[in-house]
Structure 1
């Protein structure tokens, strides 16, 4: 394929540094993961944003988290319509095959996807309304959240919508029959968090999302 290029040199150097240090010091653990398979205790759904690094936030080792990232950490409603659903497939695999005990949705402040959704829903980003906009059609998932914050003072709406991105995802998770069954049987717990990327703090939703407390 003529479109392929060599990896940038700075990434190649970082790889060799990792291989010579972290991997070399833990090579038996990596081989064990390869031979015995993964047994993560939790699935984390977080944003693609490069500033959100959940393994660093929780000090997680390889094999500990099953991680799925997408724009604005959104979960679509359950919709077995024959189309391709990467997020739904990841959730199905985590819950039904890996049997994770925890499913954690991690939102964050200064989220570009959430800001785009707010602009789209408020009429300030008509380009996202186009049927050809992948981002716009993905952010349609968050429209119910916008409806819940649109009457707040203008300066509070985007921050409130960042929290709604997490709560809408939790609500949509419960539309998956296998997720609901696992939650109701006590085999799976759902968690809603928002990371303030400037302050390094984590807020956790309590009382069904009516209250947010700092961990």
Structure 2
């Protein structure tokens, strides 16, 4: 019997992705005995994404660990529920009260290979195809990159412009995986946010999407958060 069989890990994808981006980590967590659910957020506004997370939490029972990648860090911060025992940020954005996702995303200078991002005529922001291999996940396999391009989901500009309320990391223990070779979110920005959160920090020489390229490291930090908060 696994010590984690009554624990649910909710994983949340970021912009330009869907739940399939978590597949390597989901398999590893399931092998550890966790229940795992990928929250299907619409990427239409931060409020609507937060509502999708709340609906996902309601569907679970017992203690919950909420994990977010990139943009989804802002969504993780809305997880104000007594059953949520820990928050895990994977190269994720963590705006403070009154800030927007854009405020923290542009906190420091961009990487030279970071994509140029601008909304289309419908107000949605798409990732240029070449940027999946140049910045989003430069250490991913060709097969992984092809899948990322195929399932890409745009994010509404509204999502990154909406100020956040008081985030859950102010009252819930948090862990932060800093991706030191991230070309999307400056590692300096990640460290600033993690330190401000007073998170437990784990730092690795990984790209922006370690859930694809270093899933063992991501699964390990989730297990660490569960062990520390559920004993």
Q: Which one scores higher on RCO, CA 8 angstroms, separation ≥ 6?
A: 2
State the TM-score, normalizing by the size of structure 2. Answer: 0.32
Which structure is higher in helix share? 1
Normalised to the residue count of structure 1, the TM-score between the two structures is: 0.34
- The structure that has the greater radius of gyration is 1
